[in-house]
Amino acid sequence: MRMALFLLLSWLAMQVQAASPLEQLTLPPGFHIALYSDQVANAREIALGAKGTVFVGSGDAGKVYALTDSKGAGVADKVRVVASALESPIGVAFKNGDLYISAVSRIVVLRDIENHLDDPPAPEVVTDKLPTETHHGSKFLAFGPDGKLYVPIGAPCNVCDPGPDHGKLIRMNADGSGMEDVARGIRNSVGFDWQPGTGQLWFTDNGRDMLDDDLPSDELNRITRPGEHFGFPYCHQGDTLDPEFGQGKRCSDYAPPVLKLGAHVAALGMRFYEGRQFPASYKGAIIVAEHGSWNRTKKSGYRVMTVHLQGSKVLSYEPLITGFAPNEQAWGRPADVQPLPDGSLLVSDDLTGAVYRVTYKP
């Protein structure tokens, strides 16, 4: 009897070990997650083309990928590399048939890319006038409702006074001209989007490291006027002065976060959800990819979260996907989220080199 029980438990343990990592994930009732592609090394920001192409930037690989689902089956059946040998091209943005790509100090563009997926054109330089520092040098990209390209310039440090050339969000025309500052006091934003209806820009910002396990929190911020300062490096999370750079400063002088996301969660990509597939409560909510901590006693982040809103007021902050780091062992790290026209949601994972698709069916 004991031997039979031992064999049964051993068999069950092997089944758990052999289970797909996706089976370890937890989503709210009715939500489902499946593999869209596992051929995207170090998958980061996601952008959608006009003809349904899913473009994905990458970090370590130096490549940009184009994923196509020719059968409409919810799975990428072809993965192409449309650019390579670029410096940390995590950021991708699509406009008027062209794909814009960040490459630390440069932004390049692939013209008419969806008509040349099999023979992509050589990248054209839009600008090469961005800072060259690689610490927080990788850049998320997005075009705003004003038609301008928005680009974050992170602080080149964990914590320092970055001066006028860093720690900010800028914008420029699509040809690289007209570069101007939008907001300052931003340590490292790797995700932003514009709220439907208000047109206001919301963004995630990573808090400094090496202060405390639970301080400071990452931030979800909202820009209400041009030139706002969000506190870095003087004030963190809206209420905590930096022990070195906060001397003589007041947190009340800076724009506070709309929501504290948690210490060291490494909040990256975020998008407003405007689809109709998810329940009605998700309409207008923000979906946030939290990459996960690297310097905390107990891991935080490693999840995808939902911020439910009523206008600019936060109603709740709750998990959409958890289970990427069971028993403190991370097997996946969410990097970006991107709703699709059918209302499903793509999630990139740079640790496994995968893109997942989240659907809802009661």
pLDDT digits (tens, 9 = 90+) for 289-316: 999 999 999 999 999 999 999 999 999 9
Contact 22, 356 (CB under 8 A): yes
pLDDT of residue 74: 96
Q: What's the rounded Cα separation, in Å, for the pair 281 and 360?
A: 13
Tell me the pairing of strands 43-48 and 54-58: antiparallel
The answer for 252, left when phi > 0, alpha when psi is -120 to 50, beta otherwise, is: alpha
- Identify the band that residue 17 occupies on the pLDDT scale cut at 50, 70 and 90: very low
First-to-last C-alpha distance (Å) of the chain: 42
Residue 8 pLDDT > 70, yes or no? no
Q: Which helix (H) or strand (E) holds 3?
A: helix 2-18
CA-closest candidate to residue 76, choices 102, 49, 53: 53
Residue count of the chain: 362
CA 74/CA 34 separation, integer angstroms:
9
Q: Please give the C-alpha separations between residue 312 and each of 196, 258, 274, 307, 316, in angstroms, as whole numbers.
A: 11, 8, 16, 11, 12
Spatial separation of the C-alpha atoms in residues 66 and 77, rounded to whole Å: 11
Q: pLDDT at residue 5 above 80? A: no
Please give the Cα distance from 322 to 301 (Å, whole number).
9
**Above 90 in pLDDT, residue 342?**
yes
The model's pLDDT over 323-336, given as tens digits with 9 standing for 90+, comes to 999 999 999 999 99
Residue 125 CA to residue 292 CA, distance in Å, equals 33
d(CA 152, CA 104): 10
Six-digit token pair at 238? 């809206």
| DSSP code string of 311-356 | TTEEEEEEEEEB-SSGGG--S--EEEEEE-TTS-EEEEETTTTEEE
Q: Is the pLDDT of residue 179 over 50?
A: yes
pLDDT at 148 over 80: yes
pTM of structure: 0.94
Q: Average pLDDT of 98-124? A: 98
Average pLDDT over residues 205-216: 97
For the record, the structure tokens of 327 come out as: 């028993």
| Percent of the chain topping pLDDT 90 | 93
Kindly state the average pLDDT of the residues 29-37.
98
Region 216-235: mean pLDDT is 98
Mean per-residue pLDDT of the chain: 95
Nearest to 282 by CA among 334, 313, 318, 258: 318
Give the burial class of 184: count Cβ atoms within 10 A of its Cβ; 0-12 exposed, 13-18 middle, 19 or more buried.
Answer: buried
Work out the pLDDT band at 1, boundaries 50, 70, 90.
very low
The pLDDT, as a whole number, for residue 61 is 82
Tell me the average pLDDT across 41-54.
98
Domains of the chain, with CATH numbers? 41-277 (2.120.10.30)
pLDDT band, residue 60 (cuts 50/70/90): confident
Whether residue 36 contacts residue 45, with contact meaning beta carbons closer than 8 Å, is answered with no
Q: What is the pLDDT of residue 6?
A: 44
Band (134; pLDDT cuts 50, 70, 90): very high
How many CA atoms are closer than 13 Å to the CA of 82, on its beta-carbon side? 32
| 233 pLDDT more than 50 | yes
Q: How far apart are CA 78 and CA 114, in angstroms?
A: 13
